[in-house]
Amino acid sequence: MTNYIKEINADEFQKEVLDKPRAVVDFYSTECPPCEALAAKYDALSEIYGEYITFVKIFRQGNRELAAQLDVTGSPTVIFYKNGEPVGDKLGGGILRSDLMRNLDALLTDEEREAAHAKIIPYETETDVVVLGGGPAGLTAGIYLAQAHVKTILVDTALPGGYVATTHQVSNYPGFIEPQAGMMLSHYMSEQAKANGVEFRAAVEVGNVDLENKTVTVDGVETIKARKMVIATGSRPRPLGLPGEKEYGGNGISYCATCDAKYFEGKEVIVIGGGNSAIEETQFIAKFAKKITIVHQFDHFQANKVAQEELKKLDNVEVLFEHEPREFKKYGSMDMAVVAEDLTTGERKEIRTNGIFVFVGFLPNIEAFGDKLAVDQWGYLTTDAEMETNIPGVYAAGDVKTKAYRQITTAVADGTIAAIAISKKL
Ligand SMILES: Cc1cc2nc3c(=O)[nH]c(=O)nc-3n(C[C@H](O)[C@H](O)[C@H](O)COP(=O)(O)OP(=O)(O)OC[C@H]3O[C@@H](n4cnc5c(N)ncnc54)[C@H](O)[C@@H]3O)c2cc1C
């Protein structure tokens, strides 16, 4: 913590925050990864803005009454004050440096802002390996590298954990008899990486990535210069962009049959899509669900003939061809609805169901890397058996790379192979 930051208790809140012309307060907790990610940014920004704005930290669990009064329900929560009144955004979760700066800037005059920004000095950090992405692939690479005494910095645009952190329950990761909360499994992985010495840059904005020179600019100020780079940025479901999709993703809407079909034993589900993955995943879901309705925009499937023939053998699958979803609704736990439009008549109807699966494809997260990396026909990175891409010294691991099956175990395997290959070369 810098000299500009003062740790206070509730009884000093009036004097140290409300009575100051400009103040910022960080409500933090212990054993809180997003609080740790924020602490480094808060420290750095206090050096830049501390001359003009009072920086305060309050331990939330030790000051519960004040936190409740201010409607602070999670850690970290950052609140900005001007003349005793809260102003700007109330920030929480994986807080970005740019969001902090935007709110701090708003408290300053033009001259002060210019003077503050003049204090921002870009700097370079050298490391052996920079890992981009802190899901299972990146964290596993980090664990193996750090254990081989390879200095490793792991950069994630969000908080580490990847998809696992948002997965309700994981029942197929070896080593656990009972299903594990995804959040806990990813927490163990990232704590293991940290305990072994991996340095984290979490919830950061990744700027220029130079694959040839193995440099990555983070938050506009730090350039990480590495000898090798691992890209483990995963993929994301291709969004339909419909109302309700974001809200109920992972909570009524699933993108993974292997993971979630088992929760629909004897239930009804709707599948959106008509390509190979939609049809193959439907066959898997049909082992559990009582009834499946496939909603597909065309008058025939795009899936291969074999998959279509297999589908015909199922007696619990109905198909609504030439229908497109327009909205997703949730009425309660396992009580969802799809508003579907008949493309031939324009008529809309609401179909009630227990759960919705969307299989309209995934997209690899490779936008940050330009177009020099070799990819397969679906845009996933191609590598050799040691996970090295076409650019020497740049490796790819996990869902971002070409492969037949995308699971935690396969991501962890890729991360392992990349890390061992790198350790042997450094
Ligand atoms: C809803 C759902 C449920 C699932 N359930 C299961 C299950 O039960 N069991 C199972 O085995 N598999 C499951 N899977 C699949 C599994 O989660 C993935 O295969 C696995 O997480 C892939 O790991 P990864 O490290 O390659 O990528 P991810 O887990 O996707 O992690 C990628 C990380 O990279 C970060 N990132 C993205 N872009 C950048 C960038 N430009 N710079 C830096 N960082 C970046 C992201 O923030 C993220 O933290 C599920 C998938 C989904 C979608």
pLDDT attached to residue 35: 94
Same domain, 327 and 393: no
State the distance from the centre of ligand 1 to the C-alpha of 200, rounded, in angstroms. 17
Choose the final residue of a domain: 301, 331, 358: 358
Choose the final residue of a domain: 358, 386, 408: 358
**Cα dihedral angle (162, 165, 168, 169), rounded to 10 degrees?**
90
**CATH number for 199:** 3.50.50.60
In the numeric block, which tokens belong to residue 51? 């001359």
Same domain, 252 and 299: yes
pLDDT attached to residue 315: 95
Q: With CA atoms as reference, report the closest residue to 139 among 411, 384, 421.
A: 411
Q: With CA atoms as reference, report the closest residue to 354 among 283, 275, 284, 254.
A: 254
pLDDT attached to residue 1: 86
pTM for this entry: 0.84
State the distance from the centre of ligand 1 to the C-alpha of 173, rounded, in angstroms. 14
In the numeric block, which tokens belong to residue 241? 């962009």
Same domain, 16 and 78: yes
Strand partners, 8: 58
Evaluate: CB of 34 within 6 angstroms of ligand 1: no
Evaluate: CB of 218 within 6 angstroms of ligand 1: no
Same domain, 249 and 228: no
Which residue range is the domain that position 337 belongs to?
Answer: 245-358
Same domain, 232 and 127: yes
pLDDT attached to residue 256: 83
In the numeric block, which tokens belong to residue 252? 């009524």
Nearest CA residue ID for atom 49, ligand 1 = 162
pLDDT attached to residue 250: 82
pLDDT attached to residue 187: 94
Same domain, 257 and 348: yes
Same domain, 67 and 213: no
Mutate to test the pocket of ligand 1, among 168, 209, 259 (most ligand atoms within 8 A of CB): 259
pLDDT attached to residue 87: 97
Same domain, 207 and 188: yes
Question: What are the 10-residue block averages of pLDDT along the chain, 426 residues in total?
Answer: 94 97 96 91 96 97 94 95 97 94 98 97 97 98 98 96 83 92 93 97 95 97 98 91 92 86 94 90 93 96 90 95 97 96 97 95 93 95 98 98 94 98 97
CA dist., res. 109 & res. 268, Å (int): 59
pLDDT attached to residue 277: 77
State the distance from the centre of ligand 1 to the C-alpha of 156, rounded, in angstroms. 12
Number of domains in the chain: 3
**CATH number for 56:** 3.40.30.10
- Give Cβ neighbours of residue 68 (< 8 Å, ≥ 6 apart): none
Choose the final residue of a domain: 98, 117, 136: 117
